[in-house]
Amino acid sequence: MKIKEILWQSRRDFGATFECENCSFIHEARGYDDAFFHNNVIPKMECPECGKKAPESYRPLATKYPEGMQI
C-alpha cells in the first residue's frame, strides 16, 4: 500500500487514502506520521482486496515534521 492522499492531519495522527500498487484498490485508513510508520508499517500493510503487500521498490514518504520534534 502507498499513501495516495492525506485527508487530514492533527499533530502526527493522520487520515489518508491508501492505494494498492498491485491492484489499484483504494481505501481510507489512519496512520501516524513518524519514520517507523512510513518505513515499516505501510510497506507491510496487506491490501484488503488482493491481500498483497508493497513491492520491494516501495519508497516511503518523508514525515511532515522532523523526527524528535515535539508538536
C-alpha to C-alpha distance for 65 and 5, rounded to whole angstroms: 17
Q: 19-34 pLDDT, tens per residue?
A: 999 999 999 999 999 9
Q: 36-61 pLDDT, tens per residue?
A: 999 999 999 999 999 999 999 999 98
| pTM for the full predicted model | 0.88
